[in-house]
């Protein structure tokens, strides 16, 4: 049985873990969202989210965006190679509906997997 939980092991937790991803990442991006990734030593991907107040003013809106991205990651974690991924959210993401956001992030997971494997 494949597990689709989002446990502590699947998250980037410390500033050092985030910093390591920014050093020399593989990128997959759209106008609204950028994924930065580096290979990790685990046998599963890990996710870190940064949704800046500068782009998304209200906490409930930031939480909605993070929730949609986390849920998508949770469902696709077995398709993603062992990478540490940081999701950067930029302007324009606020106007997107949940379904639209989900579709975009799924496209970016695929793009990232291709860039890393290919």
Alpha-carbon distance of 3 to 23, in angstroms, equals 31
% residues pLDDT > 90 (the chain) = 81
Alpha-carbon distance of 84 to 18, in angstroms, equals 8
Output the pTM of the full model. Answer: 0.92
Q: In the chain, which residues have pLDDT < 50?
A: none
Alpha-carbon distance of 77 to 63, in angstroms, equals 20
pLDDT on residue 117: 76
């Amino acid at each position: 049985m494949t597990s689709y939980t989002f446990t502590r092991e699947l998250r980037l937790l410390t500033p050092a873990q985030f910093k390591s991803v920014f050093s020399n990442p593989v990128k997959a991006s759209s106008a609204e969202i950028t994924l930065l990734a580096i290979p990790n030593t685990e046998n599963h991907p890990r996710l870190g989210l940064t949704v800046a107040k500068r782009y998304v003013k209200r906490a409930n809106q930031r939480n909605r965006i993070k929730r949609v991205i986390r849920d998508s990651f949770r469902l696709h974690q077995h398709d993603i190679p062992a990478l540490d991924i940081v999701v950067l959210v930029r302007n324009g993401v606020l106007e997107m509906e949940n379904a639209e956001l989900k579709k975009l992030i799924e496209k970016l997971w695929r793009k990232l997997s291709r860039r890393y494997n290919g």
